[in-house]
Structure 1
């Protein structure tokens, strides 16, 4: 499983402007399948574990409200970074992507992430 995830991560790092880090994490257990960071002191596995709580909270809210909805993504905008939590169609895992907001274009970032995530859909 790790080779296609490694290729996914490398494509994202190489082609997404402002790339900081990425992680692919299982929603149920919190196990991180893959992580990579272009910044030495940025731990994407740690960030992903905290963001798992955000995903779970939103899934619980959707359930409590009785909504027939699924999460496409969750966007968190910080003062100098954008964090995207892209949840798989079946909710079994999510992709955590952090980019530098001064170098990234949100539309392009999401389009590129969607392009590269197609390569891992159905393999995890």
Structure 2
């Protein structure tokens, strides 16, 4: 089992095109851990903003009476992919992994697969 720091380091180092990653508590909007991003991309701001995305989708699903779980949410930009993966494992309720990918270098299908594997090994 991997802790938060190890899981985020693994995401950044093993997922082709990854430029930033965070573990986020969507009940508070706070990042529990971040890696990457750099001076031009504040992962803490992104964590708070994407918390609103997750909450809105959960609220919409509730209004629609959908009894399913969100696997992941994908946001595509001109040069980036933003992947939000809600945690399902023990202790993961209310948390999501957030991954920023360079669209020119990333293989989206492989990134989703690897993020799923990292999630399965994460112990919060």
Say whether the fold is shared (TM-score over 0.5).
yes
Q: Match for residue 36 of structure 1?
A: 35
RMSD: 1.5
SS in 1 for 2:16: coil
Instruction: Report the Cα offset of residue 38 of structure 1.
Output: 4.9
Q: Match for residue 103 of structure 2?
A: 101
Q: How does 1:81-100 map to 2 (within 5 A)?
A: 81-89=80-88, 91-100=93-102
TM-score (norm 1): 0.90
Instruction: Report the Cα offset of residue 109 of structure 1.
Output: 0.7
TM-score (norm 2): 0.90
CA distance in 2, matches of 1:38, 1:76: 16
Contiguous gaps of at least 5 residues in structure 2: none
Aligned CA distance change for structure 1 residues 66 and 60 (closer, same or farther; 3 Å): same
Instruction: Report the Cα offset of residue 110 of structure 1.
Output: 0.7
CA distance in 1, matches of 2:64, 2:93: 18
Question: Does the 8 Å CA contact 1:18/1:100 hold for their aligned counterparts?
Answer: yes
Contiguous gaps of at least 5 residues in structure 1: none
CA distance in 2, matches of 1:47, 1:38: 10
